[in-house]
Amino acid sequence: MSLSDKTSAYAISSTGRYAAGTERGQGRERKPGAKVHELPSAEGGFKAVGLMAGAVGKPSLAQRRRASLRLEIAGEAVRLFTSQGVTGTTGEEIARAVGISSRTLWRHFPTKESCVLPVLAAGLQFAVDQLAAWPSGMTLVDFVTRAGRSGTLPSAAPAILDLIRMTSTEPALRAVWLQAHDDALPVLAELLARRSGGSADDLRTKVHAATVNGALRAAAEEFAHRYADDPEASGEEITACVLAALRAAAEGLPY
pLDDT of residue 15: 27
CATH architecture of 61-114: Orthogonal Bundle (1.10)
Question: DSSP E strands: which ranges in 198-239?
Answer: none
Please state the domain extents for the chain.
Answer: 61-114, 116-251
pLDDT of residue 11: 36
Cα dihedral sign for 245, 251, 252, 253?
Answer: negative
User: pTM for the full model?
Assistant: 0.77
Q: Please tell me the predicted confidence (pLDDT) of residue 57.
A: 65
Q: Which parts of the chain have pLDDT scores under 50?
A: 1-28, 30, 32-45, 47-56
In the 8-state DSSP scheme, what is residue 28? Answer: E
pLDDT of residue 29: 56
pLDDT for 16-63, tens place per residue? 222 233 333 334 454 544 433 333 333 334 543 233 434 446 889 999
Q: What is the pLDDT of residue 179?
A: 96
pLDDT at 18: 28
Element (H, E) at 104: helix 102-108
- CATH number for the domain running over 116-251: 1.10.357.10
φ, ψ (nearest 5 deg) of residue 179:
-65, -40
Buried b (16+ CB within 10 A) or exposed e, 156-195: bbebbbbbbbbbeebebbebbbebbbbbbbbbbbbbbbeb
* Alpha-carbon span 65 to 11, nearest angstrom: 10
How much is the pLDDT for 156? 67
Which amino acid is present at 22? T
Q: Which of 66, 59, 65, 179 is nearest to 116 (CA)?
A: 179
